[in-house]
Amino acid sequence: MLRCKIYASDEGYGHLVRQQAIAEALSALQPDIEFDLQTRNQADAASWLFPKANVIRRFNNIIWPRSESGSPDLEQTKIFYEDYIERSITFMQEEDLSQSYNFILSDLVYEAFGIAKQTNTPAFGICHFTWDWFFSKLYPLPVQRHVIEHMQKLATHATKLYFSEFTPPDLIQHYRKQCIVHPLIVRKQYKSNITVGNKFKVLLMDSGANVLATSIRNAIEQLPRLPDIQFFIHENYAVQADNITLMPANVPIIDYLQHMDLVISRGGFNTISECIAWRVPLLLISEHMNPEVERNLFCVKQQGLGSFTSLDKFEHHFSSTLQHFIDGEYDQIKHNMASHAIRTDGADVVAASILDQIL
């Protein structure tokens, strides 16, 4: 039997989905693997995604404070990371090492790699950006340089760092001695019996952390102006209109995604990956001062798989912005989505690579 410890960042939701896809691929190749998963802020989501795992509720030391608009709050970020190195050292000292693991997975909880070094355990990082890269791209720099260097030093203790094809080239170059570039990671495709009708169908969604909730609520008020479009939104928004379908919380978004003509969303990497897998055109919402989202939008636009709009246009001029996009760019993007050759079997590739190194 193999035992694996997963350290999941306490930020967002997409990374958990990708870790779940990898865990599923690992189990398919090696059915006797047991998983412990550690997170605090995403513990409930982890319990749902990993029903057979032992979920450990402990904060994993990484957050990025946001302003009301969803962009990085530089002042709060500066405050949080002033004592990061001390907290990082304490975290590793206080970690329960009574359990032994055959390998460790992490989406860049840096301390996971320090712990792996202490215990001589193979450790693998899986992500499309690193926090040291993220913070170094903010201006003015909110995280002190020696803190970023501490993160980078811990990352060098990883056995391998797996980066996606959309990872920034300068980041791949920095970790070139350790990195393996892999295809996009998506969940196994669900079958669905959902009835969606014959109208042009648009899925309007936020991130797992609800970064754009306020802006989406403002945009929703304009949806009745577009009666020829059927919008699908989460039931938490509790809005009623003939052209709005509320999606129940207990049904995975992916069950709807496969039926959509367009997805409008924050430029999160997991959403982009799944839309590429299902070949659904994208209209993404940009965010002020978010280097990850900026990179994601650049890659989508460069590949011709989607377009983007500003947060202000989305929130205050949504109906006209959407109509202009459909009349203009949509058909070419739909064609590009239908014909792309981007691989989405990253979970299988990463799982096989990890097992090759530990068995």
> What is the percent of the chain where pLDDT is above 70?
98
What CA–CA distance (Å, rounded) separates 188 from 26?
13
Report in angstroms the alpha-carbon separations of 238 from 227, 245, 304, 307. Answer: 18, 10, 34, 28
Q: Give the helix/strand (H/E) hosting 57.
A: strand 54-57
Q: Quick one: residue 129, left, alpha or beta (phi over 0 = left, psi -120 to 50 = alpha)? A: beta
Give me the pLDDT at residue 20, please: 94
248 and 303 share one domain: yes
pLDDT surpasses 90 at 188: no
CATH assignment of the domain containing 70: 3.40.50.2000
pLDDT surpasses 70 at 190: no
Report in angstroms the alpha-carbon separations of 244 from 84, 126, 232. Answer: 45, 37, 6
21 and 163 share one domain: yes
19 and 154 share one domain: yes
Evaluate the CA torsion angle 85, 90, 93, 97 in order and state its sign.
negative
Expressed as residue numbers, the domain containing 162 is: 2-185+344-358
Report in angstroms the alpha-carbon separations of 237 from 66, 198, 225. Answer: 21, 23, 18
Least confident of 7-16, 193-202, 246-255: 246-255
**Angle in degrees, CA 211, 212, 217, rounded to 5:** 140
Q: Is residue 194 part of a domain?
A: no
pLDDT surpasses 70 at 52: yes
Give the model's confidence band at 8: pLDDT under 50 very low, under 70 low, under 90 confident, else very high. Answer: very high
Give the model's confidence band at 274: pLDDT under 50 very low, under 70 low, under 90 confident, else very high. Answer: very high
On average, the pLDDT of the chain sits at 93
- Residues in the chain, total: 359
Q: Give the residue among 43, 75, 80 at the shortest CA–CA distance from 61.
A: 80
Number of domains in the chain: 2
139 and 40 share one domain: yes
pLDDT tens figures, 302-341: 999 999 999 999 999 999 999 999 999 999 999 999 999 9
136 and 262 share one domain: no
What CA–CA distance (Å, rounded) separates 142 from 128?
21
What CA–CA distance (Å, rounded) separates 195 from 230?
12
Report the chain's terminal Cα–Cα distance, integer Å. 11
Find which of 69-78, 119-128, 196-205, 252-261 is predicted with most confidence, using mean pLDDT.
119-128
Q: What is the mean pLDDT of residues 141-148?
A: 97
User: pTM above 0.85?
Assistant: yes
pLDDT tens figures, 214-247: 888 899 999 999 999 999 999 988 888 999 999 9
Give me the pLDDT at residue 67, please: 83
DSSP assignment of 135-195 equals: HHTSSS--S-HHHHHHHHHHHTTSSEEEEETTS-HHHHHHTTTTEEEE--B-PPPPP----
250 and 123 share one domain: no
